[in-house]
Amino acid sequence: MKFAPAEPSPRLVSLVFPPDPVWVRAARETVRALLLVARRRDLTDAALLLTSEAVTNSVNACAAKGCTTPVTLFAEWHDPHRLRVLVHDEAPGLPVCQVPCPDDESGRGLALISYGADAWGVCHHGPGRGKATWFELGMTPWDPAPGSARRRQQARQPVTGLGLGGDPGVDDLQAFPGDAETLR
């Protein structure tokens, strides 16, 4: 009996959806499926939280600016260990990292992305005009043992050339790992 070779795991998934909060769950589940196929459960909690925050930021930006063009989510394995998620919208303006009051119900999205991602940023890379918020996970070792904490060095070396598909020629894509900087 012969078996056909297994299909290679997908490296890239995308989802295009209207800027409506009901789609946040679908975006999370899209990223969850990519992680499940890759057997990277160690990244699941962080990836789903950060995806939710990035998609919610895009949906809220579109609602605030009256933008009705679709939001696009891309998630890919840059290499076997590093997951990159990019969320693009066409709402004008760049997201701003806020310092909310303890009682505020919103305003923590970029701070959570900054804290939870190995690298992140905002760029003008995507399927149309507008901007994209991106983050990466899996660049640093992670100890899944109970009680252990994920540690990362806050290197001040810029991360550049992180366009989807390995495009190293994207000049406007630059951020500092773990830093809360946005790009113009």
Domain positions in the chain: 12-142+154-175
pLDDT tens-digit readout, 79-114: 888 999 999 999 998 888 878 788 877 778 899 999
* pLDDT at residue number 97: 81
Confidence of residue 6 (pLDDT cuts 50, 70, 90): very low
Q: In the chain, what percentage of residues exceed pLDDT 70? A: 70
Confidence of residue 174 (pLDDT cuts 50, 70, 90): very low
Could you tell me the pTM of the whole model? 0.74
* 3 or 130: which leads in pLDDT: 130
- CATH for 12-142+154-175, options being 3.40.640.10, 3.30.565.10, 3.80.10.10, 3.10.129.10: 3.30.565.10
For tokens 């609602």, what's the residue? 63
d(CA 97, CA 110): 5
| Eight-class DSSP state of 66 | T
Residues paired with 14 in a beta bridge: 74
Which residue type is seen at 58?
S
pLDDT tens-digit readout, 22-61: 999 999 999 999 999 999 999 999 999 999 999 999 999 9
